[in-house]
Amino acid sequence: MRWMKLVGCCLTVMAFTACGSDEASDKQGRLALRDGQSLDVAQECGVDLPQCPQGLGCFAFKLDGVTQARCVDEASVCTELVTCTGGTTCATLLSYPGQVTCSGTCTGPDCDESVSSQP
């Protein structure tokens, strides 16, 4: 019985937290390739595809509205390969495949609506 109250309290807190978000924080930066960079030569990867060569990791990118997974160097993906718009910061989320995304509040015209803000 006690655990049911605890779960109920947690769900209530999560609901209030979700309802309290403001519209400005619902915008997310876009990933873009840095000048002179391309994913054309990077090997495709994923669950049903061959593993990446040693030293590279499999990361998914959403560029121009299209998600693709490629073998890249995790250490340089955010510093040399992609950049984020609107003052946001590039981040890698470790999963398989890993995800490259933009973190922080996006300001300006180069922002996308957050998935969680859409009905």
CB 34 within 8 A of CB 82: yes
Cβ-count burial 23-42 (b if 16+ within 10 Å, e if not): eeebbbbbbbeeeeeebeeb
**DSSP labels, 30-76:** PEEEPTT--STTSPB--TTSPPPPTT-EEEEEEETTEEEEEEE-TTT
Place 68 in a pLDDT band, splitting at 50, 70 and 90.
Answer: very high
Give the residue, 1 or 70, on which the prediction is more confident.
Answer: 70
Listed in sequence order, the residues at least 6 apart from 52 whose beta carbon sits closer than 8 Å to its beta carbon are 43, 45, 58, 71
Q: What is the pLDDT of residue 27?
A: 87
**Residue 38 tokens, joined:** 């391309």
- Quick one: what percent of the chain has pLDDT higher than 90? 65
Place 97 in a pLDDT band, splitting at 50, 70 and 90.
Answer: very high
Q: What is the pLDDT of residues 8-54, one digit of tens each?
A: 443 444 444 444 444 555 789 999 999 999 999 999 999 999 999 99
**Mean pLDDT on 103-115:** 86
Place 116 in a pLDDT band, splitting at 50, 70 and 90.
Answer: low
105/119 Cα distance (integer angstroms): 20
